[in-house]
Amino acid sequence: MKRFKIAMAAVASAALLLAGCGGEPEGPSSDFDPNAPVTLDLAFWGNDTRAGFYKNAIAKFNEKYPNITVNSTFLPFPEFWEKRQIEAAGRDLPDVMQFDYAYLRQYSQNKLLLDLKPYLGKYIKTDGFAESTLGIGVVNGVTTALPIGTNAWAMFTNTALISKSGAGAYTGGTSWDEYATWMGSVTKAGGGSVWGGTDPTGRIQNFEISLRANGKNLFDDAGAPQFTKADLADFWGKGAQVRGTGATIPTKRLLEVAPKSGFGAGLTTSELTWDNFGAGYAGDLGAAASGLALTAPPVTKAGAKDLYLKPSMLHAIAANSEHPEASALLVDFLVNSQEAGAVFGTNRGLPASSTHLAGVKLDPLSQKILDYETSIKERLGQAPPVPVVGYGSIEEKFRQLGEELGLGTVTVEQAVDQFFSEMDTILKK
Amino acid sequence: MTTVEHVQPGHETAEITAPDAGPVRRRGRRRGLASTIVWYLLLLVLAAVVLYPLVWLFFATLKPSSEFGRNSGLLPWAPTLDNYARVWDGIAGIPLWRYALNSLIVASLAVVGTLGSSALAGYAFARVAFKGSGIFFAAMIGTLLLPFHVIIIPQYIIFNQLDLLDTYVPLLIGKFLGTEAFFVFLMVQFIRNIPRELDEAARIDGAGHLRIFWSIIVPLLRPALVTGGIFSFIWTWNDFLGPLIYLTSPENYTLPIALRLYNDATSTSDYGATVAASLLSLIPVLLFFLIFQRMLIRGVATQGLKG
């Protein structure tokens, strides 16, 4: 499987090289004719439930535009991108795609995505979006995608499990040391079957917010890293200390329950992750979402704007689309309309467009997310530049090294060296 | 990859039982009942070790999704048949049998295409002395060294321009044109070991190449055809990348892709349905294997001996 992945990566880079040879994206050729029959391809990732939502949304869309036939196709996330990479090589991407932030720079720089500027305002309404949110899908000054929903880094706690263990609740927004102490108290009360949390230094986002607390990002606009080996060694060194106290769940135990996380398997009482993961956790735990609480992550530096809103998903149109106007209308419907909002709810993240949000009937969990994103307003800073090409691989390497550190198979120094050499290789491509 | 896993248990039992069965039977009376029992117990334990993952999979299909990751033991805490009910309902309004039918169509056609074309190609390489046959044979073997991933993109572009995406043609056409070097090689080696005198006798009776192929070679080729058929079926049944690239409409998906649709790391994953559907998708391959297992091992064995 590993060899296969490497091969896929090779294919993908070859694909994008080939794709880069293509021509300039075309501007809007003509106005949309509401009577001419048009067929669009729509691709998204997700499960059965989301597929059902898209089906209903398209039916609503067809009430308005009966002349546009939408053929939709869906796959799970990793397969979705394997297929897109190959289609990109053949310049045969689906007209409208659900898009991921991590791939946006790569596809935009290779001119695979349509420049949306001529369509904004005319076919795609923008009044529902905040200025900062619209700026999310801009790469090198060109708008190539519109955010569907936003999410922010957060901490989930399992209140039901905490009260069962007899420990006190975590209030959120404390210092990292206080968080570690609290995890230790839950682990102690849990008596070997429940742990306070997972070592947070295994996730690159926790490193990112500690950097942002000091006014830096992982990467600057030009794609150069804004951290040194010493920064990372310091960060992982703190993680080793916390692991040493036995407050966090042993990595070995985590690997046993994969693909579930320790939190999803009901072994830990807190986990730092994106705020839209609640439904997944509730499903994994088989418990009511009411037992889950959302709180702010620990603070590195008081008063710092370390958090930010990230697009959970975006919509983009392929540069090779033969029907950019119809595609733009579909995107407008999917990101802006109340009807689509009513169909999707918060399945694709908390809606970025206020008109879309107006259609959403908030369930208790979505209400928690909305409340959470309101509660951290003070800590929300400007979003970092669109992730560098290959960010997904960098993030994954970070996670793997975190896992190896947890298993004790590498020292902090070795892990830092490995991370930098891997990152340099990826950034040089 | 999966095929290797399937073959291994067969081989293991064959290797374990074959050399031991003789001595045990011969010395059985001397050794007495006790040692026989010990031997059988040992074999039972080995079989249990090999079969345990499958048994675990079966019991896992009865676990509700929330039990995954918490109950790693064999028996479910709260057994339920819900997983099967959800699998039966299918995905995105398409019932599971539709995916199974798609897989069956593709796999069956692949068997027919692979066997027909590779037997003909094998006959040509083994029996017809045409100009440049040595070079062509080397080139054919050379394609075995060519990783599939190298040709994905050119192939995709070609099929895209021929407007054949979202059909089964890209998955099958190569098999009907004898591009599967492994199977051609299998046939060539087998045919080379069939005595030429049989052909010559037929030739004297006035038979041409097609007649010799059909009346002399094909009946003698049966073990190789069975072996090739089983491999081809299992490989196509389990193929993931090909259908992923060429099929777009969910109603055309084959079973391996449908299985992945139950898991979505970005929202909720239905582990219960995943294992239930996995078990169901194993059944045809398992049946196929059990029925033809004897022939499979014999086929491989004769290849090894003669080649």
Checking if the pLDDT of B12 tops 70, the result is no
Instruction: Summarize pLDDT for B13-51 with one digit per residue, the tens.
Output: 444 444 444 444 554 456 688 999 999 999 999 999 999
Characterize B256-289 residue by residue with b for buried, 16 or more Cβ atoms within 10 angstroms of its Cβ, and e for exposed. bbbbbbbbbebbbbbbbbbbbbbbbbbebbeebb
| Residue A373, CA distances (Å) to A175, A213, A313, A370 in order | 20, 18, 17, 5
pLDDT at A288 (0 to 100): 65
Contact residues on chain B for A260, CB-CB shorter than 8 A: 68-69, 271
CB atoms A86 and B153 under 8 Å = yes
Contact residues on chain B for A85, CB-CB shorter than 8 A: none
The residues spanned by each domain of chain B are 2-60, 92-306
The residues spanned by each domain of chain A are 2-151+310-370, 153-307+390-428
> Number of Cβ pairs closer than 8 Å across A and B?
127
CB atoms A74 and B70 under 8 Å = no
Q: What is the pTM of this model?
A: 0.79
Are residues A86 and A15 in contact, defined by beta-carbon separation less than 8 angstroms? yes
Token reading at A302: 């008081």
DSSP A293-328: EEEPPPBSSTT---B--EEEEEEEEBTT-S-HHHHH
pLDDT at B303 (0 to 100): 52
CB atoms B66 and A71 under 8 Å = no
* Alpha carbons A365 and A99: distance in angstroms, whole number: 24
Provide the 3-class DSSP secondary structure of residue B251: helix
Among B59-73, B165-179, B256-270, which stretch is predicted with the lowest mean pLDDT? Answer: B256-270
Checking if the pLDDT of A2 tops 80, the result is no
Does A256 contact B at CB distance below 8 Å?
yes
Q: What are phi and psi of A261, to 5 degrees?
A: -90, 170
Q: A66: burial class by Cβ within 10 Å (0-12, 13-18, 19+)?
A: exposed
pLDDT at A280 (0 to 100): 84
The matching CATH number, chosen from 3.40.50.720, 3.40.190.10, 3.30.70.890, 3.40.50.300, for A2-151+310-370 is 3.40.190.10
CB atoms B147 and A76 under 8 Å = no
pLDDT at B8 (0 to 100): 41
B206 CA to chain A: closest CA distance, Å? Answer: 52
Checking if the pLDDT of B110 tops 80, the result is yes
> Which of B91, B244, B267 is the closest to A79 by Cβ?
B244
Does A370 contact B at CB distance below 8 Å?
no
CB atoms B268 and A49 under 8 Å = yes
Average pLDDT over residues A17-41: 62
Where is A289: in which H helix or E strand?
none
Does A142 contact B at CB distance below 8 Å?
no
pLDDT at A382 (0 to 100): 86
pLDDT at B5 (0 to 100): 40
Q: In chain A, which among 258-317 make CB contacts under 8 A with chain B?
A: 258-260, 264-267, 279-280, 282-287
Instruction: Summarize pLDDT for A84-111 with one digit per residue, the tens.
Output: 999 998 889 999 999 999 899 999 999 9
CB atoms A265 and B64 under 8 Å = no
Are residues A316 and A30 in contact, defined by beta-carbon separation less than 8 angstroms? no
pLDDT at B21 (0 to 100): 44
* Alpha carbons B206 and A25: distance in angstroms, whole number: 66
pLDDT at A31 (0 to 100): 67
pLDDT at A9 (0 to 100): 52
Q: Which of B268, B269, B271, B274 to mutate to test the interface with A (most CBs of A within 10 A)?
A: B268
Q: In chain B, which among 145-174 make CB contacts under 8 A with chain A?
A: 147, 149, 152-153, 156-157, 160, 165
Contact residues on chain B for A51, CB-CB shorter than 8 A: 91-92, 250
Categorize the per-residue pLDDT at A62 as very low, low, confident or very high, splitting at 50, 70 and 90.
very high
Where is A271: in which H helix or E strand?
strand A270-274
Contact residues on chain A for B72, CB-CB shorter than 8 A: 256-257
Q: In chain A, which among 308-347 make CB contacts under 8 A with chain B?
A: 347
* Alpha carbons A161 and A140: distance in angstroms, whole number: 47
Q: A335: burial class by Cβ within 10 Å (0-12, 13-18, 19+)?
A: buried
Residue A22 CB-half CA count within 13 A: 26
CB atoms within 10 A of CB A260: 23
**Chain B residue whose CA is closest to A348:** B267
If one compares A17 and B66, the residue with the highest pLDDT of the two is B66
Q: What are phi and psi of A138, to 5 degrees?
A: -105, 120
* Alpha carbons B47 and A212: distance in angstroms, whole number: 57
Instruction: Summarize pLDDT for A141-195 with one digit per residue, the tens.
Output: 899 999 999 889 999 999 999 998 888 999 888 999 999 999 999 999 988 889 9
Identity of the residue numbered B179: T
Average pLDDT over residues A328-347: 92
Checking if the pLDDT of A27 tops 70, the result is no
CB atoms A90 and B152 under 8 Å = no
pLDDT at A147 (0 to 100): 93
B8 CA to chain A: closest CA distance, Å? Answer: 19
Nearest Cα neighbor of A245 from A182, A161, A158, A169 is A182
Place of tokens 């905490």: A162
Does A15 contact B at CB distance below 8 Å?
yes
Q: What percentage of residues in chain A have a pLDDT greater than 70?
A: 92
Instruction: Summarize pLDDT for B130-187 with one digit per residue, the tens.
Output: 999 999 999 999 998 888 888 888 999 999 999 999 999 999 999 999 889 999 999 9
Does A193 contact B at CB distance below 8 Å?
no
pLDDT at A371 (0 to 100): 92
Question: What average pLDDT does chain B have?
Answer: 84
Average pLDDT over residues B196-202: 92
Checking if the pLDDT of A117 tops 90, the result is yes
CB atoms B264 and A256 under 8 Å = no
Q: Which of A39, A48, A344 to mutate to test the interface with B (most CBs of B within 10 A)?
A: A48
pLDDT at A111 (0 to 100): 94
Checking if the pLDDT of B92 tops 60, the result is yes
Checking if the pLDDT of B265 tops 80, the result is no
Are residues A158 and A322 in contact, defined by beta-carbon separation less than 8 angstroms? no
- Those residues whose C-beta lies under 8 Å from the C-beta of residue A339, and which sit 6 or more positions away, are A57, A60, A61, A333, A359
Checking if the pLDDT of A250 tops 90, the result is yes
CB atoms A47 and B153 under 8 Å = no
Average pLDDT over residues B72-76: 85
CB atoms B269 and A47 under 8 Å = yes
Does B199 contact A at CB distance below 8 Å?
no
Contact residues on chain A for B70, CB-CB shorter than 8 A: 257, 265-267
Place of tokens 């089906």: A55
Checking if the pLDDT of B98 tops 80, the result is yes
| Residue A161, CA distances (Å) to A154, A265, B161, B162, B239 in order | 19, 12, 57, 58, 43
pLDDT at A8 (0 to 100): 52
Identity of the residue numbered B8: Q
pLDDT at B11 (0 to 100): 43
**Chain B residue whose CA is closest to A43:** B248
pLDDT at B209 (0 to 100): 93
Domain B92-306: which CATH class? mainly alpha
CB atoms A83 and B157 under 8 Å = no
Domain A2-151+310-370 and domain A153-307+390-428, same fold? Reply is yes
If one compares A421 and A89, the residue with the highest pLDDT of the two is A421
- Those residues whose C-beta lies under 8 Å from the C-beta of residue B298, and which sit 6 or more positions away, are B223
Nearest Cα neighbor of A172 from A372, A403, A341, A424 is A372
Checking if the pLDDT of B106 tops 50, the result is yes
* Alpha carbons A287 and B296: distance in angstroms, whole number: 48
| Residue A27, CA distances (Å) to A36, A92, A314, A322, B43 in order | 20, 18, 21, 11, 72
pLDDT at B29 (0 to 100): 55
Instruction: Summarize pLDDT for A201-232 with one digit per residue, the tens.
Output: 999 999 999 999 999 999 998 889 999 999 99
CB atoms A256 and B72 under 8 Å = yes
Token reading at A358: 């107006």
CB atoms B160 and A55 under 8 Å = no
Token reading at B282: 């194993």
Are residues A379 and A397 in contact, defined by beta-carbon separation less than 8 angstroms? no
| Sign of the dihedral defined by the CA atoms of residues A77, A80, A82, A88, in that order | negative
Q: What is the ipTM of this complex?
A: 0.74
Does B5 contact A at CB distance below 8 Å?
no
Checking if the pLDDT of A385 tops 80, the result is yes
Q: CATH topology for A153-307+390-428? A: D-Maltodextrin-Binding Protein; domain 2 (3.40.190)
Q: Are strands A270-274 and A142-143 parallel, antiparallel or unpaired?
A: unpaired
Contact residues on chain A for B65, CB-CB shorter than 8 A: 283-284, 286
CB atoms A283 and B268 under 8 Å = yes
